[in-house]
Chains A and B, each alone.
Chain A
Amino acid sequence: MLRFALLNILTRPLRSFLALVGVAVAIAGVVGLISVSSGLKNTMTDTLDKVEGLVMIEANSVDPIFSSLPISYANRVEKIPGVAACVPEYWKVAPNVEGQKTLMGMFSAVVVLGLDPERHTRLSAGHVYSRSMKRGRNIEGQDAGKRRVVVSERIAKKYGKDVGGSIKVGELLYEIVGVYQTGSLFLDGTLVMHLDQAWAFAGISGKDVVTSFYVEPKVQSKEEMARIEKAIEDEFSKDPKKVDCLSTAEWQSEFGKLISNLDVFLVVVSSIAVIVGAIGILNTMLMSVTERIPEFGILKANGWSRGDVTRLVLVESTYLGIAGGLLGCSVGVAGVQIAARFMPFAPATPPSLVATAFGVGVVLGILGGVYPARHAAGLSPVEAIRAA
């Protein structure tokens, strides 16, 4: 019977092929989407795992880029009990690197980060960038007044640069002294330089304004973070420039919202794809069953029971589902691999995803065959043969 079913599928190769392409497209799409989104999730969690402290920015400014605070705030924060260190940061978007615009792609943006290396020695765990050096050295006190930068491996690769070379940011040329790699999509778009160079880059002369501060607590715990956060916000509540503290946990919940939206989106798209695939198989099997009505009459007259006929049609549609699942998984995995070359982060395609997607293909085959199978099985042999 398995061979007979296969024969029936192969007799109409084009139609069977179209049905399985329908399934394959659905499966490949689901594999691709989920791979990309779980890759994205990995990147986000990577980022969050790497930043352990609090980020202090001007109240209501959303992002350090849009914030501006007096540098003197650092000393006040460091007096708050439980705070190990508070280091100033100056963030500035670099819209043009090596004469190329950086804001075109979602993940190609480059930002300049100015640090005060002396202050950084107070951080016990160090800064995320200083912890992630691959070659060369960190920005140090001796770099004050010098146009020197530390770049990420990604930026180094993209612009074909390395330690010892120089990179043009905006109109100015900087010497590359080190290369880091955090592995995080969002963090690896940063050019790290001395704070006074960042000010120079931004074109401000005064040495008293930064965009934000990185605050390291003495004890790493959720409760302690929340307490310090509250204490810092209270400390500046009477100043003209109030502050917001963002903890990793808060970023996490922001990302969490984003991710759950993404998940809803994925579920909707996948369901639509799956339904379309099922309808494709249903349609093909219905056509095939309708065309073969006299055959089912012959089978039944010759002793095939309802169950036998049902099984035959289900096996046929399951074949379509299996073939569609295989094709879809292969195309999906291959497509993700090809797409990965053009993406700044690695999509994640775990074997369980491929297995599940294949399983969905098989289930689609079975589901798409149920109605046609019942239809064929319920035919009266006499009427079926008369339809010839």
Chain B
Amino acid sequence: MSLLRAVNLTKTFAIGSRPVEALRGVSIELPENSFTFVVGPSGSGKSTFMHLAGALERPTSGTIEVAGRDLGALSDDELSDFRREKLGFVFQAFNLIPNLNAVENVLVPFYAKGLAEGMREKAKEMLKRVGLGDRLDHRPRQLSGGEQQRVAIARALLKDPLLLLADEPTGELDSKTGAEIFALMRSLHREKGASVVVVTHDTRYIEPADRVIRIEDGRIVEEK
């Protein structure tokens, strides 16, 4: 069964009277337990695609299914639940709540609904796994950019996500730190069986088994 299936996906933004077609009919299928790179020039629609896959926005037309669920058919609240339970996000820069420390940021998806027993311990464990065992009660501004990204990965790890969506997660990091972040995403992929979709300009980290989607001007121009 495929993890993600998009059929003829379009997304149009209306800026004033002139519509911007960010996606112009994207169809794609990603199998379970896949590691996918989304590449392409700036403004081509990569982030837009990721937002639709992550149930953060709704498509203008077309359908998108994740884990067999038609996202277009779900209510806003159901989409929230879906994101909390099944998805992990790592954005380029702003990932964490400034007022909360590392452990609390890992727990943030479950704050609103109440924490299950043992979750706090598990959150600490995840932070240790991403190498932040000695930064548990640091606030985001006391953490480096790479460390902040690791907290976001630990947050995704906590819930055994079906799908980790990362939008230029290494965009603001040096290459050594960037390599560490990719290594962490790889281990999440291998050990937990999570699928990963990562939007990046960094093609160095592509491995032979990975899928690569190239988007240009709102369309998929190459897929391997």
Contacts and interface: CB of A to CB of B under 8 A. Distances in A.
Interface of A: 1, 4, 7-8, 11, 294-295, 297-308, 311-312, 380-382, 385, 388
Given A1-B111, A294-B94, A382-B51, 16 more contacts: A4-B99, A299-B97, A299-B108, A300-B80, A301-B56, A302-B84, A302-B89, A302-B108, A303-B109, A305-B76, A306-B80, A308-B80, A308-B113, A312-B112, A380-B56, A382-B57
Contacts of B83: 301-303
A305 B112 CA distance: 9
Contacts of B84: 302-304
Q: What interface size band does chain B fall in?
A: 20 to 34
27 contacts: A4-B104, A7-B99, A7-B100, A8-B99, A294-B94, A295-B98, A297-B94, A298-B94, A298-B97, A298-B108, A299-B112, A300-B80, A302-B155, A303-B81, A303-B83, A303-B109, A304-B80, A305-B112, A306-B77, A308-B80, A308-B113, A311-B112, A312-B112, A382-B51, A382-B57, A385-B94, A388-B93
B85 interface: yes
B61 interface: no
A381 B52 CA distance: 12
B130 to A, nearest CB: 17
Contacts of A303: 80-85, 109, 112
Contacts of A312: 112
B81 A380 contact: no
A388 B95 CA distance: 10
Interface in B54-106: 54, 56-57, 76-77, 80-85, 89, 91, 93-100, 104
Contacts of B91: 301, 385
Contact of B77 (A1, A8, A299, A305): A305
Interface of A is mostly: helix
Nearest to B84: A303
A106 to B, nearest CB: 53
Contacts of A380: 56-57
Contacts of B100: 4, 7
Contacts of B109: 302-304
A13 to B, nearest CB: 13
Contact of A305 (B80, B98, B99, B155): B80
A7 B104 CA distance: 12
Nearest to A301: B89
A308 B83 CA distance: 14
Contacts, number: 72
A210 to B, nearest CB: 79
Nearest to A300: B80
B110 to A, nearest CB: 8
Report, nearest first, the 6 A-B pairs whose CB atoms are least far apart: A303-B84, A308-B112, A388-B94, A305-B80, A302-B109, A303-B83
B182 to A, nearest CB: 21
A312 B91 CA distance: 23
A295 B89 contact: no
A32 to B, nearest CB: 36
Contacts of B96: 298
B115 to A, nearest CB: 10
Nearest to B85: A303
Contacts of A305: 76-77, 80-81, 112
Given A301-B54, A380-B57, A11 B99 contact: yes
B108 A382 contact: no
Contacts of A1: 111-112
Nearest to A297: B94
A302 B111 CA distance: 10
A144 to B, nearest CB: 85
A295 to B, nearest CB: 5
Interface in B148-191: 155
Contacts of B51: 382
A271 to B, nearest CB: 35
Contacts of A304: 80, 84, 109, 111-112
A11 B99 CA distance: 7
B77 A307 contact: yes
B81 A381 contact: no
A162 B199 CA distance: 94
Interface string B106-126: 001101110000000000000
A4 B97 CA distance: 10
A386 to B, nearest CB: 9
Contacts of B112: 1, 299, 303-305, 308, 311-312
A205 B85 CA distance: 102
Tell which of A294, A297, A300, A301 has the most Cβ of chain B within 10 Å: A301
A295 B109 CA distance: 12
A158 to B, nearest CB: 58
Nearest to A294: B94
B133 to A, nearest CB: 23
Tell which of A1, A299, A303 has the most Cβ of chain B within 10 Å: A303
Nearest to B165: A301
Contacts of A295: 97-98
Contacts of B85: 303
A75 B29 CA distance: 114
Nearest to B97: A295
Contacts of B108: 298-299, 302
Contacts of B77: 305-307
Contacts of B89: 301-302
